[in-house]
Every structure is written in C-alpha cells, then in structure tokens.
Amino acid sequence: MKKLIAGNWKMNGKFGQNTALLDAVLAGLKEKPPTCGVAVCVPFPYFVQVQDYQDRSRDESGNPMLSLGAQDVSAHEAGAYTGEVAASMLKELTVSYVIVGHSERRQYHGETDQLVADKTKAALAAGITPIVCIGETLAEREAGHTEEVVKRQLAAVIHTNGHCISEIVVAYEPVWAIGTGKTASPQEAQAVHAVLRAQLKAATDQFARVKILYGGSMNAANAASLLAQPDIDGGLIGGASLKAPDFLTIIAAAQN
C-alpha cells in the first residue's frame, strides 16, 4: 500500500516561517519525488499560503506531491454554529485531508467518540479524507485497557459510517507519546495496528485500502523502524513536521 506522511502543524506558524519551511520541503520533494503521499495539516489562516505550494508541487500528471490538510471540521453542514468550519468550505479551498478526533480536541474540547464519528461522516460526505485519531492515555495503558479503548473509539466511527469506512485513514496516536519524546516501540505500535486492522476487516471487505498511521513523537531517527512494521502505513507527525530536514527524512523513510 502507498504510505502517507502527514504533518500536523497544530497551532504553530507565521507567514514568514511557513514560507521558509514550505520552500525547503518543496525543494526536497522536487529533488526526490516521493512514492508516498505527503500532506500538511495547517491552521485555517494558512490554507491559501499552502494552496500555492500544493499547486507548485504538481508532478507531470498534475497530481500534487504536497497536499493540503485541515486539523478539524464541523459535524454540521451549515447554519448557526459560530466559529465552526464546514467540510464543504474546506472542499472549496481544495483541502484533501482533515484530522478528526485528535486527542488534543478530545481532551481540551470535550470531543466524544460520537462527535468524532459525526465529523468523520461530514468529511466523507464532502469528499475529504478524514484522518481519524484514536489512542489510549498512559493511565489506560498501565491499567491494561489499550485494546479496549482504541476498539471502542474506532467502533463508534465504524457504526456511524458503515461501508464508507473504507475511505478513511486511521491514526493510532497513544496520548502518552504525543509531544513527550516517548515513542511506542515498533512492536508496541504494530501490536495495536494489528488489532485495528482486524477490526476493520470485520467491518468491510475493503479493509486493505484503509491506511493506519502511527503518530506520537515520530521523528527522523525512529521513523524507519516504525514504518517497517507490516501494519504501519505511514505517520502523523507533530513537532518533526515543523523542521524541513526532519520531515523530509521521514518522507524518505516511507518510500515503498
């Protein structure tokens, strides 16, 4: 399966800084065109800036080497939802991917499994690929509940989206590994990915299409060993996506 490397800038950036980062990423991609998909999920105010790089990254067949992604989407189509952005609006801005259910949104904004499932549905209806994040906290892992938690989170998304589930991307992001420098070992990550793969298999005969990304302190040094695991189909990269050389090294490690 073609891998996917997606950067999650989170709430970081400044126009000048972004230009330097994107110039270096684009130059690296042009020098060595990737065989994996590459996306950056950026704050809303930077969409137009990234769109320009997306256009400039097109290969000879017109496909962008660098795709634009968002970090959140409303579960609603339109209406009186102050501050929210609808999936159809993202689509108009040529957004290809949207992160839904990131643990930071579950934790700080009270997003429930059902809301995440509804946001996934809204993204799919607009033709945007949702990157659905799931993952256990440290307390849940230490209590031996990892499998139960990730399966519950994914089950809500499967239940609400039915056969369309084959169009999503899943990101396993153990909460204790996010921004902490602690990474799940390749074996620990693979074990959870295998559980998720089996769950997807039970839900759709198209399960082999669903990419399962790993996220949580993935960096230039550990990417290759994580990406070598049979059920790790790419990465969702936070901190390291803000440094062009590191991001490019991770992309290079994702070549098939």
C-alpha distances (whole Å) from 181 to each of 1, 71, 222 are 28, 22, 11
Binding of ligand 13P at residue 170 (CB under 6 A)? no
* Sole binder of ligand 13P in the list 28, 64, 69, 216 (CB under 6 A): 216
| Residue 18 interacting with ligand 13P (CB under 6 A) | no
Instruction: Provide the 10 A C-beta neighbour count for residue 105.
Output: 18
113 binds ligand 13P, rule: CB under 6 A: no
Does residue 153 touch ligand 13P according to CB under 6 A? no
The residue among 125, 105, 101, 104 whose CA lies nearest residue 113 is: 101
| C-alpha–C-alpha distance, residues 256 and 57, integer Å | 20
* CA 6, chain centre distance (Å): 5
Residue with tokens 């230490």: 142
Q: Which of 203, 206, 237 is nearest to 220 (CA)?
A: 237
Q: How far is the CB of 249 from ligand 13P (least distance, A)?
A: 14
Residue in 68, 218, 226, 253 binding ligand 13P, rule: CB under 6 A: 218
Give yes or no for residue 215 binding ligand 13P (CB under 6 A): yes
Mark whether 102 is an active-site residue. yes
Question: Catalytic one among 102, 104, 111, 193?
Answer: 102
Residue 173 among the catalytic residues: yes
- Shortest distance in whole angstroms from residue 70 CB to ligand 13P: 13
Kindly tell me which residue out of 140, 172, 239, 247 binds ligand 13P, with binding defined by CB under 6 A.
Answer: 239
| Residue whose token pair is 């059920």 | 231
- Active-site residue among 104, 136, 140, 173? 173
Q: How far is the CB of 58 from ligand 13P (least distance, A)?
A: 26
The number of residues that bind ligand 13P (CB under 6 A) is 14
Q: Which among 69, 6, 71 is positioned nearest to 36, based on CA atoms? A: 6
CB of 139 to ligand 13P, least distance (A): 18
Q: Is the distance from CB of 170 to CB of 134 less than 8 angstroms? A: yes
For the chain, the residue count is 256
Q: Could you give the residue numbers annotated as active site?
A: 102, 173
Positions in the binding site for ligand 13P (CB under 6 A): 8, 102, 173, 178-179, 215-218, 236-240
